[in-house]
Structure formats: structure tokens, C-alpha cells
Amino acid sequence: MKFSRISGLRGELAVPGDKSISHRSIMFGAIARGTTEVTGFLQSADCLSTISCFRKMGVEIENQGSRVLVKGVGMHGLKKPEKILDCGNSGTTTRLLSGILCAQDFDSAVTGDASIQKRPMNRILIPLTQMGARIRSASGNGCAPLIIQGSPLHGIHYQSPVASAQVKSAILLAGLYAEGETRVTEPFLSRNHSELMLSHFGADVRTEGTTAIIRPAKELYACPVEVPGDISSAAFFLAAGLLVPDSEILVRNVGMNPTRSGVLTVLQNMGADITVINQNSRSSEPAANLLVRTSRLHGTCIEGELIPTLIDEIPILALTACFAEGETIIRDAAELKVKESNRLKVMAEGLSSMGARVQETEDGMIIQGGAPLHGAVIDSCMDHRIAMTFAVAGLCADGDTEILGAECVNISYPQFYKDLKNLA
């Protein structure tokens, strides 16, 4: 896929549904009593992996496009899958599903693609084992495939070394089935979609500071889920609207959960002209329309508690910083090394190959803005957010930018290139 410099991105779009919320709607719907109606569901490879795993455990899921009906089987109604469950490229599926499987009265196994089989799973194996789970890495390297023998669990208070919603959610889901209360304390608050949605489904879950607390449930009860647009997908259009000259884009129905909207705070701190219009609360999650116009930006520092609120947006923020006046420092972001690719390395190398002044550090990047970018051949490393970031980069660079493995946007945003083209 090739991109070259343009000007004047204009028009409006609604980005597809939030990936994190879509996954959870299927998982929680599956173990609830009654039928959960999900609207705005993200039809992407990752979320389809979640649907496929639960179908293999006897859950009837009617996928009608943007509406999905999950016929819940109750907390103890899942059936033993005949084969190993394939989570594809999805870390959220692998980790959250493992939390549920540990507590079932059957044995199971989960795996995923080559990228998933390299991602760290000790971060869930350790706390789940402390809860009494019998879960192990098949090859003993702390990665999937994971072998799970269902067993009784008990609550713990886990001090998580990482701010990770996947870790927190795996523990909370196991905690639903455990004896006694389960607590997870994080260094900084990560996205709280699980807490919000579980509470809607009737679970006894609450938050105190950066600690999430859950009590065991007898049952969860189906309730409708309206999935707002994914701010992580919207971020590519916010950046494109800011960086491409003479642009004005309205992005409709973007999820505005404060544990996710750090990208907006940072862009506005950098001088971005982004107006929040019609903020409203759908279901348990707020949403708004965002109007973005081409802006002059200045450098900033992105660190600390902000990091989990924009963890998936750091690649596109790094690109944006290349066009800002002065220096941008990103730190406390070592988690990026264990995402779908090593995003610190891949971003620093890719941006440098386009002429940007970027230095990779141990836990982030230092970017000197203002160097003009030129086209390059960029390997997406089959990481969807890398492909989309460099597509936007190509629109702001001299010459051609070619993206290898561009089709990996299917993971979170299958119609990304079409939506981008419609604005051009």
C-alpha cells in the first residue's frame, strides 16, 4: 500500500466500535443469564476471535453485523471446548479468557498467532496461580500456548507491577468465581471497561483509587451494550486532521472514558484545535463528536499516570511530535515493547528512516520536532497500529511511503484505508 503527500482532508466519519468494549460484551454476555444485545460491535479480526472462542464453548452468538446477540449460558454453563482455543492476534482475548477458564470445571488450552506466542503471559500466570488456578505455559517460556486445569479459586489482593487492564481484568474475572473478595492494585489506573460493564451486569465491583475490588457472583444478568467508537481508531484521524494542511474532520461518536482519553488531553496540550461536541453517556460509557482542524503544535512530555490512558496511541502521538515545534519526551512507556510488536523500536526505526530525529530510550522516545519527513518503505511488522500510523505519516511526507503488511489493519479497523480515502 502506497501513500504520498496530500492536503485538505475534509468531511466526517464515525470510527468503528471500541475494541476493548466489544471483546468484553461477548465475554460477559456469554457468562450472563439471558440475551445480551450488543450494538456498534467492532467487526474486526480480534473481536471475531473472541466470538469464535465462546462459540466453541457452546455459546450461541448471532452476528448480524453491527448488532450482535449473545445468548448467555450463565456463569457455570460454558462447555468444555473440543480443541485448543485460538485467540488469533488478540492479547485481550488470551488474557481475559484465561481468567474465566481457570475457574471452570473443565480443562482447556488457549493459544494464538506467532505474535501472541511471544507476548508475556507470566503477568497473568502469577496472580491466577496465587488464586489457586492451575495454569501454565505449555513450553515453560511464560508465553502461550497456555494449559489450564479448572480448579476452585480464592480471592487475593494483588499488587500488579504493571498498569494493565488485561491483567486487572483477568484477575477480576477469576475473582467472580473465587471464594472471598479479590483486589487488584495498579501503579496507575488502567482502562476500567471491565469494572463498568461487570457492574452493569450485576457484579459487585468497585474502585478505590487504583484498586479494583470484586466479590464473587452467583450470576451475571444480560443487559444491552451500546459500544461507542474507538478513541484509539479515532486518534489516527485526529492526527491526520492536525498534520495534513487545510484539513477539517468531524469524528462522530468517539468513546470518551477518562481512562482512555489521554490522547485528547495531550494533543490539546500540544496546541491542537480539537473541539468536543455533544458529549453524552450511552450505556455506561461516555461518547462525543470531535472536530479537528489543522494546527501548529509544540512539543510536550508524556509520562506517568497519563501513559495507561493513551497506551495504544503512543505510535501516532510519536508521529505527531515529529511535526511539533521543539522536543517531545515520552517516558514510563516500556509496556510498548510487549505489544503486538516492539512499538518503541519499530516506531523509532520507522520514523528515523523517514528523516525524523527520534531517539529510542529504555522506556520511551525523545523526538526533536520539525525535521521534514520523506517517504520510505515501512514494514508494519503485522502490527495494525504501526500500519495506520505510517499511512498517516505517508500523507505528510515527500515522495512515496510504502507499507508492507498493510492488510494487518484488519485486526482493529478493516475499513481504515477506505475511510481515509473518503476524506482525501
Q: Name which of 186 and 379 has its Cβ closer to ligand S3P.
A: 186
Residue 189, interface with ligand S3P (CB under 6 A)? no
Q: Which is nearer to ligand S3P, 92 or 182 (CB)?
A: 92
Give Cβ neighbours of residue 50 (< 8 Å, ≥ 6 apart).
22, 23, 26, 27, 87, 90, 92, 93, 97
Q: By C-beta, is 164 or 257 nearer to ligand S3P?
A: 164
Residue 115 Cβ vs ligand S3P, minimum distance, rounded to whole Å: 13
State which residue, 257 or 294, has the beta carbon closest to ligand S3P: 257
| Neighbour tally for 2: CB within 10 Å | 12
353 touches ligand S3P by CB under 6 A: no
Q: Candidates 74-82, 161-169, 290-298, 347-355 — which segment interacts with ligand S3P by CB under 6 A?
A: 161-169
Nearer to ligand S3P, 190 or 283 (CB): 190
CB 395 within 8 A of CB 5: yes
* DSSP-based three-state secondary structure for 359: strand
- The contact pattern for ligand S3P, residues 51-90, with x = CB under 6 A and - = no contact, is ----------------------------------------
How many angstroms separate the CA atoms of 390 and 343, rounded?
Answer: 12
93: contact with ligand S3P by CB under 6 A: no
Q: Identify which of 154, 145, 203 has the alpha carbon closest to the alpha carbon of residue 27.
A: 203
CA distance 326 to 195: 39
From the list 164, 295, 389, 401, which residue makes contact with ligand S3P (rule: CB under 6 A)?
Answer: 164
Q: Which helix (H) or strand (E) holds 402?
A: strand 401-404
Residues 269-328 that bind ligand S3P (CB under 6 A): 311-312
Q: Does 165 bind ligand S3P (CB under 6 A)?
A: yes
Question: If binding is defined by CB under 6 A, does position 94 make contact with ligand S3P?
Answer: no
Phi, psi of 250, rounded to the nearest 5 degrees: -105, 120
Nearer to ligand S3P, 21 or 403 (CB): 21
Contact at 8 Å (CB) between 121 and 137? yes
CA-to-CA separations, 30 to 53, 79, 193, 210, in angstroms, rounded: 11, 11, 16, 28
118 labelled as ligand-binding? Answer: no
Contact pick of 335, 360, 379, 383 for ligand S3P (by CB under 6 A): 335
What three-state secondary structure class fits 291?
strand
The residue count of the chain comes to 424
How far separated are the first and last CA of the chain, in Å rounded? Answer: 16
- Which amino acids are annotated catalytic? 312
Which regions of 118-244 does DSSP assign to beta strands (E)?
134-137, 146-149, 157-159, 182-185, 204-208, 211-215, 220-221, 225-226
Q: Does 45 bind ligand S3P (CB under 6 A)?
A: no
Q: Which of 94, 95, 79 is nearest to 127 (CA)?
A: 95
How far is residue 192's CA from residue 119's CA, in Å, rounded to a whole number? 22
Shortest distance (Å) from residue 181 CB to ligand S3P:
22
- Shortest CB 48 distance to ligand S3P, Å: 15
Among 22, 44, 89, 92, binds ligand S3P (CB under 6 A): 92
Q: How large is the C-alpha radius of gyration of the chain?
A: 21
Least spacing, CB of residue 364 vs ligand S3P, in Å: 15
- The least distance separating ligand S3P from the CB of residue 411, rounded to whole angstroms, comes to 10
Assigned C-alpha cell, 51: 466470538
As annotated, the binding site for phosphoenolpyruvate includes 19, 91, 119, 166, 343, 385
Give the residues lining the site for ligand S3P (CB under 6 A).
20, 92, 164-166, 169, 190-191, 311-312, 335
